[in-house]
Amino acid sequence: MSTDNTRETLGFQAEVRQLLKLMIHSLYSNKEIFLRELISNASDAADKLRFEALAAPDLLGGDTELGIRVAYDKDARTISVSDNGIGMSREELVENLGTIARSGTAEFLSRMTGDEKEDARLIGQFGVGFYSAFIVADRVVVEARRAGLDAGEGVRWESDGQGEFTVEAAEVESRGTCVTLHLKDSETEFAESMRLENLIHKYSDHIAFPVTLAGAGEDDEEKVVNLATALWARPRSDISDEEYREFYKHLSHDFADPLRWSHNQVEGKREYTSLLYIPANAPFDLWNREAPRGLKLYVQRVFIMDDAEQFLPLYLRFVKGVVDSSDLPLNVSRELLQQNPDLQAMRGAMTRRVLDMLAKMAADEGDDYRNFWRQFGPVMKEGLIEDPANKEKLSQLLRFATTHGKGADQDQSLDDYVSRMQESQDRIYYLLADNHSTAIASPHLERLRKKDIEVLLLTDRIDPWLVDALRDYDGKELADVAREGLSLPEGDGAMTQDVANEQHKPLLKKIKRVLKDRVEGVNVSRRLVDSPACVVAGEGDLNPSLKRMLEASGQSLPEARPILEVNVEHPLVERLSAEADDERFSALSNVLLDHALLAEGSQIENPAEYVARMNRLLLELDSAPAAK
C-alpha cells in the first residue's frame, strides 16, 4: 500500500482479482449487460436513501426527486452512470468495491471449468454488479458522497481492474454515486445515443426511477428514456414477457431467464402485490441455510428491505421477487414483521402460490420441471419436513430415481409409481443408499427385481428424513427394503420368516455363535436371489445410510448391530453349511458378513483383519495343475 496525503493505493481481494479475470473472459459475448448492472445498482442506492429518509428526512435536503442519469461522450470515449441515492463513505467504497464479503466465494470460484458458456452461467448466479464495468472499460472512476456528509467528505476511487485501486478524498458537489467508464478502443459503440437508449429500454424500462440519457454535444437532448414506474404496480396485461424477464434479472443479477413467474394483486382484508419468480439455476450458496434470502419488501412503493425472509419458508429460499404491502407500517422492521398478525396469512398465500406455480410446471410435462428438480429437488424435500400443512401439494411435486427409470435421472413421481403398482401390492418400496451406483447394485433389490416390483432409489442426504416425514402416499405405506421383516405382495410363494429360520436352525445358530459380537441376529433371507448374504436394520434401528451420515457429522450414536440374512440356496452358503472345520467356518462366516457390509456401503471395522482372513482362505484353496 502506498499513501500520498489522503490518496491510498490498495490491492483487490484475491477473490475479486480472480472474478474479474474470469468475468471479462466468460462474459465478453454478453458485454452489454454492464449497463443493466450499473443502473440496477443506482436504483438500489435510490431505494435505500428513500428508506433511510423515512427516519431522517434531512438526508434528502432540497433534492427530493430521485433519479439516474446516463451521460456519454463519444469523443472522450466515456460513459457515466450517476444517481442521487444514498452514496458511499470512504470506508464503504473500499469495502464494497475492493472485496467480496460473501461466504462460499472461494468454493464458487473453484467450480469454474474454463468452458465459457458454463462459466458465464455460474458467474450469472453469483452476480457481478459493479465489476461488469471492466468488460468494456480499461479504467473506471467512481466518485461518491454519502447522504448526510458535506461536499468536502466525498471520495474518489479509480482502477484499471488489474489488481489495484486508488482511493482519495474529493470535493463531490452532491450526494450519491457517479461511475465513469473510460471505454476500451474496441468498445466506442457504447458511447452513442441510439445504442444506449436501446439498452436502457431493453434492460431498465422497469426501473421505478427515471433514467435520463444525456450527451456531451450541444445538440444532444437530455431525455427520460424508461417508463419510470414500478413494474409490479402496473396491470399484468400491460407487461410483456420480456419485461418480466428483465425485471427478474434486475432483482437477481442472474443472466438466465426465470422458469416461471406469478404476478398477483390481493385486495380485501389484506392488500398487497406480489411478483414471484422461479429461477432456472440454483445459486452457488443454496446449501448455506444462513445465507441472505427472501423477497424485496416495499410498503406503498417505498423500499423497506432486501431479503425479507419472513414471507416464504426456508425450503423456498431460491424464490426471487417483490412484495409490496399497503397495510404494513413504513417503519416496519424484521422484528416487527415476526409479530405482525397478517404476516402468517400472507406467507401461507405466497407459499401456496409458489407450489401452484410448480405444480403447473410439472403438469406441462416439458423439460422445465425436470431441470427445476435437478437444481432444487433436495431443497424441495426439506418442505416435507418443515411444512406439514402443505404435505399433499409437496408430495405430488417429488421426483425420484427408480428401478424402472433411466439411470440416475430423478423424474418419476409418486403418482407414476402408484400407477405401475402390481394388483396385490399395497406398499411403496424404497431403498436408501449413498449413491445411485450402490443403490442399483444392492442385493436388497434382487427378489423385488425378479418379481418386477418397482423400488424408489433414494440417494440424497435428506432422504432418510424425507421418508420419515412422508410415511405414506395415496393410502400406500412406504416400506424400506433394507429393513428386517420385509413384506412382499401376496402370491410371493415364500415361506414365512419363522418357518424358514426353523428349517435351517442349526446353521443360523452356528453362524450367530461365531458372529455374536458383530450381529444382532441371523435369518434366512427372503429377499436375496443371486447374492449369498446381506445385512438389514432392525425395526427400531437407524438406517445404515443415515447412521453413516450422522457419524460423519461427529454425532455419538448408541451401538446398533445389523442383522445378517443368508441365502441358503447360494453355493457359498451351502459350502459354509457343509464346513466341518471350525476355524474355516469362522473365517467364512466373517467374510460373508464383511462382503454384505461392503455391498451396502458400510466400512469394515478392521480392514487388516479382513485382508489377513482372505489371504488365509485363498492359500487354502486347492492348487490347480500347472499348464503345460
4 pLDDT higher than 90: no
pLDDT-above-70 percentage for the chain: 91
**Whether residue 120 has pLDDT greater than 60:** no
Using alpha carbons, select from 282, 279, 276, 267 the residue that is nearest to residue 296. Answer: 276
pLDDT at 623: 45
Distance CA 398, CA 414 (A): 7
CA distance 332 to 325: 11
Residue 1 is predicted with a pLDDT of 46
Q: Tell me the fold of 497-535+561-619.
A: Four Helix Bundle (Hemerythrin (Met), subunit A) (1.20.120)
Domain extent listing, the chain: 2-229, 233-359, 398-493, 497-535+561-619
Instruction: Tell me which amino acid residue 157 is.
Output: W
Q: Which residues contact 391 (CB under 8 A, 6 or more apart)?
A: 384, 469, 470
Q: Please say if the pLDDT value at position 431 is more than 50.
A: yes
Cell of 38: 450499473
Q: To 10 degrees, the CA torsion angle through 8, 13, 18, 22?
A: -70
What is the pLDDT, as a whole number, of residue 219? 77
How far apart are the C-alpha atoms of 50 and 304, rounded to whole Å? 9
pLDDT higher than threshold 70 for residue 551: no
Strand pairing partners for 401?
457
pLDDT at 252: 86
Residue 98 is predicted with a pLDDT of 80
CB 407 within 8 A of CB 436: yes
Looking at domain 2-229, its CATH architecture is 2-Layer Sandwich (3.30)
Span 563-573, pLDDT tens digits: 999 999 999 99
Name the CATH code of domain 233-359 (choices 3.40.630.40, 1.10.600.10, 3.30.230.80, 3.30.56.10).
3.30.230.80
Q: Cell 419468480 appears where?
A: 277
Question: Chain-centre distance of CA 164, in angstroms?
Answer: 33
How confident is residue 285, by pLDDT bands cut at 50, 70 and 90?
confident
Question: What mean pLDDT is predicted for residues 518-535?
Answer: 94
Residue type for position 616: R
Whether the pLDDT of residue 443 is over 80: the answer is yes
**Model confidence at 351: pLDDT above 90:** yes
Q: Is the pLDDT of residue 172 over 90?
A: yes
pLDDT value for 504: 94
- The set of cell numbers assigned to 114 is 474454463
Contacts of 341 (CB under 8 A, 6+ apart): none
pLDDT grade for 99, boundaries at 50, 70 and 90: confident
Q: What is the pLDDT of residue 342?
A: 81
What is the pLDDT of the chain when averaged over all its residues?
88
Rg of the chain over Cα atoms, rounded to whole angstroms, equals: 32
Measured in whole angstroms, how far is the alpha carbon of residue 540 from the centre of its chain?
Answer: 33
pLDDT of res. 115: 63
Confidence of residue 322 (pLDDT cuts 50, 70, 90): very high
3-state percent breakdown (helix, strand, coil) of the chain, nearest 5:
45, 20, 35
Judge whether residue 626 has pLDDT over 50: no
Residue 119 binned pLDDT confidence (cut-offs 50, 70, 90): low
**166-170 mean pLDDT:** 95
Least reliable range by pLDDT among 17-31, 284-298, 527-541 = 17-31
Q: Which residue reads 396385490 in cell numbers?
A: 424
pLDDT tens digit string along 362-385? Answer: 999 789 999 999 999 999 999 999
Q: How many Å apart are CA 363 and CA 612, to the nearest integer?
A: 57
Lowest mean pLDDT: which of 94-103, 221-230, 274-283?
94-103
Tell whether pTM > 0.85: no
Would you state the pLDDT for residue 628? 40
Closest to 428 in 3D by CA, of 396, 461, 473: 473
The whole-number average pLDDT for the span 74-97 is 94
Q: How far is CA 73 from CA 173, 210, 226, in A?
A: 21, 21, 20
Output the CA angle 227-142-52, nearest 5 degrees.
60
- Which class would CATH give 398-493? alpha beta
* 292-321 average pLDDT score: 90
**pLDDT tens string 19-65:** 787 777 766 677 888 998 899 899 999 999 999 998 899 999 889 99
- pLDDT, average across residues 199-218: 89
